[in-house]
Amino acid sequence: MSSVPTRSEIEEEYTWDLESIYATDDDWEDAYEAATDQVEDLAAYEGQTVDDATTLLEVLELRDRLMREISMIAAYARMRSDEDTTNQEYQALSARAQSLAAGAQSAASFIEPELQELSREDFEAMVEDEPDLENYAHYVDDVLRMKPHTRSAEVEALLADLSEVTGAPGEVYSMLSNADMGFPTVEDSDGEPVEITQSNFVNLLKRPDRDFRQRVYEAYFDEWESVRNTVAASYKNSVKADVKLARARNYETAREAALDGPNVPVEVYDTLVDSVHDNLEHLHRHAELKREALGVDELRMWDVYMPLTGEEGPDVEYDDAAQYVVDAVAPLGEEYQSRVAEGLESRWVDVYENEGKRTGAYSGGTYDTQPFILMNYQNDVASMYTLAHELGHSMHSELTKEEQPYIYSGYEIFTAEVASTVNEALLTHHLLETVEDPEFRKAILNEFLERVRSTLYRQTLFAEFEHEAHRLEEAGEPLTADRLDELYGDLKAQYYEPAEMDDRIPREWMRIPHFYRAFYVYQYSTGISAALAIADDIVENGADAAEDYLAFLRRGSREYPLELLEIAGVDMRSSEPIDRALSTYGDRLEELDDLLE
């Protein structure tokens, strides 16, 4: 029987180094107490923000110092909890950190309404008195841009206080899916029981034994059926919170509110959906090729993750994957490459699955820490690509914080997913250029196709689903489990037209945690489109294109996302990058089809 190791059974070199943030939990407690005192110091400035240039600079710098410290407090607690989501002690620390962060946001909530009392000319005059305020010029421009959607200081404080409550549906869902839900075991082709987990579900659907895949698929979704009403209630209330918060800020729709934060026009969202629908024939061709490769009369939902090679693909040990990724990023320059290698040696990555560990993968860390990457590495090609992806995020953070002050050290997801996916595209190019083994090459091509299918097509399907779910709520229509199933099932049938639908696949929406971060997933689709264009440019034009791309990474959030991407030579207001990416996907499909023949 396959089993998942305990945390203590994982070798230290394959775990992240959280002691580099706080050596002990007592050190965390000391930082927590100090930050609590600073929250009171910040609150004391209420009503004085724009009295004069000196006071304004004091307020902004104090807020930044406080938020830097709280970000470390929260990151440490969250990542400790993610190591084992059943650990009650670290759940409690994480909850305290969330409360502290909410309290700090509430204490700082007076700043932006008071800033909005200024005109741009007023601020420029203050910069003349305090030149260090120039660092905040783009931030202030963004604050003034949001004036129609910013409420009074009292209301802003209330909304900040309510952030824990409005985020509760996502927290409930996370605990249900990561800690409380358990999945059955199923027998493999040798009669051995195999444990299904959130992390290994997709990999189990890549096994060659079709009957085994069907048993895994049915057992997994039947377990979701047992919590169907709970998940529907959780998601319904998450959507309600999105809609009510948008209305509280004078937006007509939740989508408009979500996209206005990074200053992305809703037309970009619509262009993505329209372009994908105009190119569904490529996805349909992919599905048909899978049916042919499997030699079956009908492609079923438990066949969708099967590689076109008809096999599980080569094993890729973590250490080998790390070296492949280091070699692949060479076109970005020696400094970038050496820093990736050093990070991998410095315990940036928490590599393997363990009992209770949070599923999935992410890149974390703060302005004052090294990057931290959570993975559940499965010794396969897909996990290698995930490593490249998360390292892209981590290097984006590293380059940004070296060049930008804290206020611009973050970046919007719209641009973040470009950094991660450029790494993936460079990995594909490197492997196809250097690997001779034909089976490995087939696996690489298949991985590229699956990445585009699951990132560009699948995330756009998700984007359509959440847009329609929010539209229904805004129209006053009830979001029941049946209605959500119907909505998702209809979209799935459009996207996977050649495949046979069944009565379980409409439940798939229940397993997608990103839906609790509204209007987030579309940026995976725009991101891969922009990234493929950038990577092609780097491969074709070398150092100059690479330097443009690195300049984009170093800018952090100092400009708006669409402006930042223009530095790297991409216009996401048009459909061109999306159409180009989908055309490449179609070409790669035919390339692999020829190899298989």
Q: Which residue has the tokens 């590689």?
A: 307
- Tokens for 332, please give them: 């970005």
- Tokens for 582, please give them: 């989908």
Residue 221 backbone phi and psi in degrees, to 5: -75, -25
Q: Which residues contact 30 (CB under 8 A, 6 or more apart)?
A: none
Instruction: Express the helix, strand and coil content of the chain in percent, nearest 5 each.
Output: 70, 5, 30
E strand or H helix at 500: none
Q: Which residue has the tokens 């408009």?
A: 256
| 443 close to 314: Cβ distance less than 8 angstroms | yes
Q: Which residues contact 515 (CB under 8 A, 6 or more apart)?
A: 235, 238, 462, 465, 466, 509, 521
Q: Where are the beta strands (DSSP E) in 368-515?
A: 372-374
Alpha carbon distance, N-terminus to C-terminus of the chain: 37
Residue 334 designated active-site: no
E strand or H helix at 105: helix 88-108
The active-site residue out of 112, 156, 390, 398 is 390
HEC-encoded secondary structure of 371-428: CEEECCCCCCHHHHHHHHHHHHHHHHHHHHHHHCCHHHCCCCHHHHHHHHHHHHHHHH
| 375 close to 350: Cβ distance less than 8 angstroms | yes
The answer for 250, left when phi > 0, alpha when psi is -120 to 50, beta otherwise, is left
- In angstroms, rounded to a whole number, what is the distance separating the alpha carbons of residues 596 and 446? 11
- In angstroms, rounded to a whole number, what is the distance separating the alpha carbons of residues 467 and 472? 9
Q: Parallel, antiparallel, or unpaired for β 372-374 and 193-195? A: unpaired
| 212 close to 186: Cβ distance less than 8 angstroms | yes
- In angstroms, rounded to a whole number, what is the distance separating the alpha carbons of residues 179 and 387? 24
- In angstroms, rounded to a whole number, what is the distance separating the alpha carbons of residues 260 and 254? 10
- In angstroms, rounded to a whole number, what is the distance separating the alpha carbons of residues 32 and 27? 9
The answer for 313, left when phi > 0, alpha when psi is -120 to 50, beta otherwise, is left
* Strand partners of residue 187: 193
Range 470-493 burial, b when 16+ CB lie within 10 A, else e: bebbbeeeebebeebbebbbebbe
- In angstroms, rounded to a whole number, what is the distance separating the alpha carbons of residues 137 and 116? 13
**How far from the centroid of its chain's Cα atoms is residue 160's Cα?**
23
Range 367-389 burial, b when 16+ CB lie within 10 A, else e: bebbbbbbbbbbbbbbbbbbbbb
User: Which residues participate in catalysis according to the annotation?
Assistant: 390
